[in-house]
Amino acid sequence: MSPTILRIGPYRFFFNSREEIRQHIHVSCPAGMAKFWLEPIVSLASHYRLSPRELKQIEKIVREKEDEFKSAWNQHFGQ
């Protein structure tokens, strides 16, 4: 199960079922995918087929929505 946490423009932010304990968010769009760590600081974990410009835009959104993503993580995974 991959619950959608947020949609902004072409971006879908979501969690995968418990693949790792460390808080993170996945994002997909027509151009590709990325994964960002939410702890200890927001940072790019991996990406596929996204330009540096697009990654920068996505990271900006992740930083702006960091608290919402962490709250959703805790609610979804029961922490």
pLDDT value at residue 58: 98
Determine the pLDDT at residue 4: 95
Mean pLDDT of the chain: 95
Report how far apart, in Å, the C-alpha atoms of 63 and of each of 25, 67, 69 are: 11, 8, 10
**β-pair type (24-29, 32-37):** antiparallel
Residue with the larger pLDDT of the pair 20 and 31: 31
Burial of 28 (0-12, 13-18, 19+ CB in 10 A): middle
Measured in whole angstroms, the distance separating CA 5 from the mean position of its chain's CA atoms is 9
Residue 17 has pLDDT above 80, yes or no: no
Residue 39 has pLDDT above 90, yes or no: yes
Q: What is the pTM of this model?
A: 0.94
The residue type of 10 is: P
Residue 51's pLDDT band, with cuts at 50, 70 and 90, is very high
